[in-house]
């Protein structure tokens, strides 16, 4: 059973000496073992054959029940106001969850919690055992006090539904009838308010394309020099001279001259001791290697461009035509600021401006004046269940409902199960009372 907000065995301390306790449907049921008799709530003693058999003395029916003798047999039934079958007679409910969702447990009865809860003109709905008060359509006010008809609206000048724009960034708003119609700006994809560029990084594009000005495009045009061909490898353009040509494929490839007839003396640059993208020059009878213009690295192992991917550059630079450069110039619109975050240019409108930061930012219109409405500190109620809220000097004052004890938000009945009462009391109608009156027969002691 639920005892002080913990699931515990309700038997300890409930039954009398020599009695046995069984828990049926969360309720402790005391009974004397076979061969013993007496009041199981006080003491069970060895059974003695009475001179006259009285099947209802002691009563075998259990708590909240009554016993009638019919043809020498004990006939048990629950007392009025209790349900179930002896010896498991119980109240109709103890907690709200024992009732239908549209009822609440009040005085151990499932009742409609709405009567007397809401204010004048308000409607009440029971949701999950709780009464919810609200004003009907066309009415306004505090539904716990009074609902009044909504006054007719005052004539207001026509407003522009696109000012301010409800469409979000990278979108445009057009007035269609009396409603705003949102669409993404040219060169942006998605659906407002989630319009976005086609790409932000190379990983957003196919492997043979690169993200250029937020578009997935072929990075080759304009990258390689004359007489060079371009291949895209992992989003990056790779330039090589066509067959029969030699030189810097990023600037100019010239026709490869026919190799002169080798002389008898060895030439230090043939074969070349240099790596890729490096040239060999004879100096003092030895081959000296240098990187081609705009290439870096060890010319004897291989020279490379300054960068091929953004990750080759600092986080505030991007790889543009194999150079680490600032990607911001020419990217953002008017009245917008540019920041480079992880190699990518991010445009934002300056404070006090709004719009598409990649095209143009407009001055932000002033917000419409907000009319303050009176605040009811008791709506919604902060007091918790089984409590009532009153407004005193603009503050919410909470108190427990009649017959409930504790302090909000922890108002509770005096008891829910008998184990919450002293050993000589039982929980009846959520009150700890003496369970003896009306329980035992004539000339018996309880």
147-202: pLDDT as tens digits:
999 888 776 667 888 888 888 888 899 888 888 899 998 888 888 888 888 888 88
Structure tokens, 50:
């009475």
What does the alpha-carbon distance between residue 414 and residue 431 come to, in Å, rounded to a whole number? Answer: 6
Q: Name 423's Cβ contacts closer than 8 Å, sequence gap at least 6.
A: 13, 14
Q: What is the mean pLDDT of residues 93-101?
A: 88
In the predicted model, is pLDDT for residue 264 greater than 60?
A: no
Q: Which residues are CB-neighbours of 210 under 8 A, at least 6 positions away?
A: 202, 216, 217, 218, 219, 232, 235, 236, 237
Residue 307 to residue 325: CA distance in whole angstroms = 10
Q: How many Å apart are CA 430 and CA 403, to the nearest integer?
A: 9
Q: What is the pLDDT of residues 372-384, one digit of tens each?
A: 677 888 988 888 8
- Does the structure show a pLDDT above 70 at 236? yes
Phi/psi of residue 325, nearest 5 degrees: -130, 165
Cis status of the peptide bond prior to 58, with omega within 30 of 0: yes
Q: What is the CA radius of gyration of the chain?
A: 45
Give pLDDT tens digits for 203-221: 888 888 888 888 888 888 8
Q: Between these two residues, 147 and 286, which has the higher pLDDT value?
A: 147
Q: Which residue has the higher pLDDT, 47 or 106?
A: 106
Whether residue 50 is predicted with pLDDT greater than 80 in this model: the reply is no
Phi, psi of 93 (to 5 degrees): -155, 155
Instruction: Work out the mean pLDDT of the chain and round it to a whole number.
Output: 85
Query: What's the pLDDT tens digit per position in 23-41?
Result: 888 888 999 988 888 888 8
Say if residue 193 is preceded by a cis peptide, omega within 30 of 0. yes
**Strand residue runs (E) in 208-285:** 210-212, 215-217, 228-233, 236-241, 245-248, 252-255, 278-283
Greatest CA separation for the chain: 145
Q: Per-residue pLDDT for 97 more than 80?
A: yes
C-alpha separations of 392 from 250, 386, 389, 395, 397 in Å? 82, 20, 10, 5, 7
pLDDT for the residue numbered 263? 53
Q: Which residues contact 212 (CB under 8 A, 6 or more apart)?
A: 219
Question: What pLDDT does residue 398 have?
Answer: 92
What's the pTM value of the predicted model, to 2 decimals?
Answer: 0.26
Residue written as token pair 């000339």: 443
DSSP state of 98: G
Confidence check: pLDDT of 370 > 70: no
CA distance 193 to 256: 57
């Amino acid at each position: 059973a639920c005892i002080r907000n913990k699931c515990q065995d309700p038997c300890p301390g409930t039954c009398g000496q020599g009695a046995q306790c069984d828990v049926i449907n969360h309720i402790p049921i005391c009974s004397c073992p076979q061969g013993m008799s007496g009041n199981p709530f006080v003491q069970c003693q060895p059974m003695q054959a009475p001179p006259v058999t009285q099947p209802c003395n002691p009563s075998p029916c259990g708590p909240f029940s009554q016993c009638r003798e019919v043809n020498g047999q004990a006939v048990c039934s629950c007392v009025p106001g209790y349900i179930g079958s002896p010896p498991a007679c119980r109240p109709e409910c103890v907690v709200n969850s024992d009732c239908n969702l549209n009822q609440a447990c009040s005085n151990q009865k499932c009742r409609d919690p709405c009567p007397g809860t809401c204010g004048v003109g308000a409607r009440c709905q029971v949701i999950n055992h709780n009464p919810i008060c609200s004003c009907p359509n066309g009415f306004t006010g505090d539904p716990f006090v009074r609902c009044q008809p909504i006054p007719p609206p005052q004539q207001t000048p026509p407003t522009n539904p696109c000012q301010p724009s409800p469409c979000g960034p990278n979108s445009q708003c057009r007035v269609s009838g009396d409603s705003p119609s949102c669409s993404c700006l040219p060169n942006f994809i998605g659906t407002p308010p989630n319009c976005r560029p086609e790409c932000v990084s190379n990983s957003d594009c196919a492997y043979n394309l690169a993200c250029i000005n937020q578009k997935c495009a072929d990075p080759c045009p304009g990258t390689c020099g004359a007489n060079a061909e371009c291949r895209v490898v992992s989003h990056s353009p790779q330039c090589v001279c066509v067959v029969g040509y030699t030189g810097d494929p990023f600037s100019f490839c010239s026709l490869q001259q026919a190799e002169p007839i080798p002389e008898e003396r060895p030439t230090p640059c043939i074969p070349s001791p240099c790596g890729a993208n490096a040239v060999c020059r004879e100096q003092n009878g030895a081959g000296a290697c240098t990187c081609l213009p705009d290439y870096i690295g060890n010319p004897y192992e291989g020279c490379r461009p300054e960068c091929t991917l953004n990750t080759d550059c600092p986080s505030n630079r991007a790889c543009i035509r194999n150079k680490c450069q600032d990607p911001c110039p020419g990217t953002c619109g008017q009245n917008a600021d540019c920041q480079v975050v992880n190699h990518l240019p991010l445009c934002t409108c300056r404070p006090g401006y709004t719009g598409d930061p990649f095209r143009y930012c407009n001055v932000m219109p002033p917000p419409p004046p907000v009319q303050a409405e009176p605040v009811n500190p008791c709506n919604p109620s902060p007091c918790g269940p089984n409590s009532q809220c009153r407004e005193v000097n603009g503050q919410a004052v909470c108190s427990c409902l009649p017959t409930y004890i504790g302090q909000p938000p922890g108002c509770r009945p005096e008891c829910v199960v008998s184990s919450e009462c002293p050993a000589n009391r039982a929980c009846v109608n959520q009150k700890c009372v003496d369970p003896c009156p009306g329980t035992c027969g004539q000339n018996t002691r309880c």
